[in-house]
Structure 1
Amino acid sequence: MGIFPDEVILQILARLPVKSLFKTKTVCKLWYRLVSDKYFVKLYNEVSTKNPMVLIEAWVPFESKSSLICVDYSRVVSEVSLDFLKDRVKVRASCNGLLCCSSIPHKGVYYVCNPMTRVSKWLPRSRERPVTRFYPDGEATLVGLACDISRNKFNVVLAGYHRTFGHRPDGTFICLIFDLHSNRWRKFVSHLDDQFKNMNKNQVVFVNGALHWLTGSCSYILALDLDYDVWRKIPLPDEVSYGTGNRVYLLDSSGCLSLIQISDAWMKIWVMEDYEKEVWHMVDGVSLQCIRGLAPGIFPIARTGECIFLATQRQVLVYHQRGRVWKEMYSVKNSSNLPVWFLAHAFQSTIFPSD
């Protein structure tokens, strides 16, 4: 009497933050067994996709340290520490609860970590070391992280223009792909083409088994298929216009490729309904009149269901499509007149990798 069925307990536990969840393992043997089960891990990660977060790296000019903050849909703000890496790092990519970080003092050193579980993996050095041979600054032009929760695996992609030490780029675009299951890097080379010259390295989306980048001219999307090591060109919607105040961004929308165009007055949203046939559908057009003072500097971070998360230099906003309502999720409280700059990533609390 008074005891919930196991399935009810699982549904309740699946909605806890990771830190609280781990503490429940000490309550009793039943809860320890339930939380450790593979079925629960799958359930927890599925629930997590419906509760997105925004991971913010904020810093004030002329200060040497930055802070990493996680903001969830309920406006709960928590500080995230990467001190368990025992290194000074910067976040290069985020995907399904994992972060890819590069060492600041040690060029070419990369980690993949789950900041919620504090589990990390140091990536072995590739054969491109001791110098990375990526042009122009020893760092990869593109860094991509692909975390496939359903297959319990991840890949890291480092890509850029190749050069031998002391020489100019030799006309090739090189990709190094780290595979978790083999614990090795593999390499393939593409001939240098105009399509690789101006890729937007700050925008990368993992859907349909591929990493997607916008080209700098926003004329099309370049997708890297991680199963076959093949680049693919994907056209943008015909109605998309770039330049003259228009900005274009890629997002993951519940497993579908989504594109957002922002001007000073409007935000237009497309979703790719058929990935193989490359069919886009415009789902919304949003007037930015009520936030016109913020519109010139705003950029989208994540989209899920009926919500779009966006950031400015000092704020994180959420737009509810169904009610057409804007709300502030987070704002930096700083007495300084200097702007606080954001690097913002879509994030979710997962328990991947699981032991």
Structure 2
Amino acid sequence: MDSLYHKLMSSTRGGPSMEDLLESVMFDILSRLPVKTIIHCRCVCKKWRNLVSDSYFIDLHLSRSPAGLMFHHNSEKYRPSGYYEPGILKWVLIEDEPNRHHLRHDPVMNLDLNLAATFQNSQMRLVGSVNGLLCLWQFGRFHDNTYICNPITREYMTLPRQQYYRKGYAIIVYGFGVGLRTKEYKVIRTFQGDIPPNPSSTSRPSFLEAEVYTLGTSLWRSLGRVPYWLEGWDGPFLNGRAHWIVCDKDSPEKICTFDFDDEKFELLPSPPFEVTNDEHQMHYQSLGVLKGCLCASDIYGSHFTIWVMKEYGVKKSWRREVVIKEIIGPIPQSEIWDYTTVLECLKDGTVLMLTGEDSLMAYCTLRKTVEDTGLFDRHVTGMTYRPSFLKLQDFPSERVDVF
């Protein structure tokens, strides 16, 4: 179906028809409904199904899409028999008001990855989220595959085998995003390792290469050498770029970006992280996006600082948003900060974060207390997520499967 815009502009009588106006009202009403209700409406009749599949509706709904989180949950990371489970994708809707908030998880909206034969008996990791699309990495002794999935439409596509598949021991770092100018969705991954493999090495990898995939092209392209040693599994997306922490000690800045339009790696001004001289003292840094701004978490010993870049790319705009030196509550502080990742900051100041114990915690900045949200048992990873009805069939040359 053509977009509503083209229908209105092509009217031969100088104005929209009554049918077009009624359709416009339907677009507006449907785009404001809960996602689950829209899915039900799509099953009512062919007319409504076409409306929900229209590109105008998809863009309109995405502009109004509610804030949320997507979690990849494994009840058991592995079993003694060596049998792996791919896990379940669980969407959490954030209902955020100035004086109260609620995290709503509807089990009906879960997506069990084990339903697809491709994922069975394998390990999966969530490595990217953009405009309702998820990037999944299937890894392990016999696997190194990348998938793009829309958990709302229940579609997924399998990307071709990567260039550096099983070339040697390596740490794979992912990024997933869309160009601001080209509007092209791309997957970037760096291959950081040693040739020949040296798993025990803690020094800078001797082999740092990158490859990129543009959805709809059926081809991975080599980008050659990566100038920086990157940390983490994935890089949060913001302003057309993926972002990672830089491991190189001599780097003038500690944040590296990848521009999905220009396909270049560049340093970004970083906040004044704590300088550590004690090798035995835990120091962990991670990146995220809070309220449309890049944020950096700096954990040093028992201190936890959240920095926010108020004006993107401007070093002087970094501000200490949250400083935590002590916690009131029954949870030992040492168990909370170990590899903690900030996910979202709510209107009342509550900070949602995933801890090293793989639990979703909520920190109240006023009471200085940490509470376990109790949504899931352990073994979860997650990131911010905005649901959409973006169709994978819109990408040419890609094979699309349905759960």
Normalized against structure 2, the TM-score is what? 0.69
Which of the residues 373, 379, 383 maps onto 1:345? 383
Alignment of 1:167-182 (within 5 A): 171-182=206-217
**What is the correspondence of 1:71-220 to structure 2 with a 5 Å cutoff?**
71-72=91-92, 73=94, 74-78=103-107, 79-82=110-113, 83-84=115-116, 86-87=118-119, 88-96=122-130, 97=132, 98-102=134-138, 104=140, 106-126=142-162, 128=163, 131-133=165-167, 135-137=168-170, 141-147=172-178, 153-161=184-192, 171-190=206-225, 195-196=228-229, 199-216=230-247, 220=254
Describe the shift of the 1:162–1:60 C-alpha distance in structure 2 as closer, same or farther (beyond 3 A).
Answer: closer
| Count of aligned pairs | 335
Contact 1:57 1:69 in 2 (8 A): no
Q: CA deviation at 1:160?
A: 1.6
Distance across 1 between alignment mates of 2:314 and 2:139: 40
Partner of 2:3: none
Measure, in 1, the Cα distance between the counterparts of 2:366 and 2:66: 19
For structure 2, the residue ranges without an aligned partner over 5 or more in a row are 1-21, 95-102, 395-403
Query: Is the Cα–Cα contact under 8 Å of residues 172 and 189 in structure 1 kept in the other structure?
Result: no
1:223-245 per-residue CA deviation (whole Å, 9 max, x = no partner) reads 12222232212242125445734
Give 3-state SS (helix, strand or coil) of 2:35's partner.
Answer: coil
Query: Following TM superposition, by how much is the alpha carbon of 1:5 offset from its aligned partner in structure 2, in angstroms?
Result: 5.1
Is 1:300 the counterpart of 2:341? The answer is yes
Q: Does the alignment pair 1:68 with 2:88?
A: yes
1:257 is the counterpart of 2:277: no
Residue 360 of structure 2 corresponds to which residue in structure 1? 316
Instruction: Say if 1:165 and 1:107 are closer, same or farther in 2 by CA, change over 3 A.
Output: farther
In structure 1, what residue type is equivalent to 2:259?
D
Alignment of 1:266-277 (within 5 A): 266-277=303-314
Cα distance change, pair 323–5 in 1 and its aligned pair in 2 (3 A): farther
What is the match of residue 16 of structure 1? 35
CA distance in 1, matches of 2:365, 2:308: 14
Displacement after TM superposition at 1:326 (Å): 5.0
Hey, what's the Cα distance between the residues in 2 that align with 1:51 and 1:260?
A: 20
Matched position secondary structure for 1:274: coil
Shift in Å at residue 24 of structure 1? 0.8
1:329 to 355, 363, 373: 373
How far the C-alpha of 1:259 sits from its partner, in A, is 0.8
> For residues 258 and 10 of structure 1, what CA distance do their matches in structure 2 show?
34
Distance 1:58 1:150, change over 3 A: farther
CA distance in 2, matches of 1:151, 1:321: 40
Q: Which residue of 2 aligns with 1:336?
A: none
Q: Quick one: structure 1 residues 60 and 120, their matched pair in 2 at CA, closer, same or farther if it must change by over 3 Å?
A: closer
1:6 to 26, 30, 40: 26
C-alpha spacing 1:75/1:50, structure 2 compared with 1 (3 Å): closer
SS in structure 1 at match of 2:389: coil
Q: CA deviation at 1:102?
A: 1.9
Percent identity reads 18
For residues 22 and 37 of structure 1, do their structure 2 counterparts lie closer, same or farther at Cα, with a shift above 3 Å needed?
same
Distance 2:205 2:360 in 1: 42
Letter in 1 for 2:144: G
Please give the per-residue CA displacement for 1:19-44, whole angstroms capped at 9, x wherever unaligned.
x4222112245533442332321232
For residue 59 of structure 1, what is the aligned residue in structure 2? 76
Aligned match of 2:267 in 233, 244, 248?
233
Question: 2:270, 2:225 → 1: CA distance?
Answer: 23
**SS class of match (2:232):** strand
Contact 1:265 1:292 in 2 (8 A): no
Following the alignment from structure 1 to structure 2, what is the Cα–Cα distance between the partners of residues 170 and 292?
A: 41
Quote the Cα distance in structure 2 between the aligned partners of 1:291 and 1:235.
36
Q: Do 1:249 and 1:260's aligned partners in 2 also have CA atoms closer than 8 Å?
A: yes
Shift, 1:90, TM fit: 0.8
The structure number with the bigger radius of gyration is 2
Q: Which protein is richer in strand relative to its size?
A: 1
> CA separation in 1, counterparts of 2:352 and 2:296?
13
Paired residues of 2:70 and 2:382 also in contact (CA < 8 A):
no
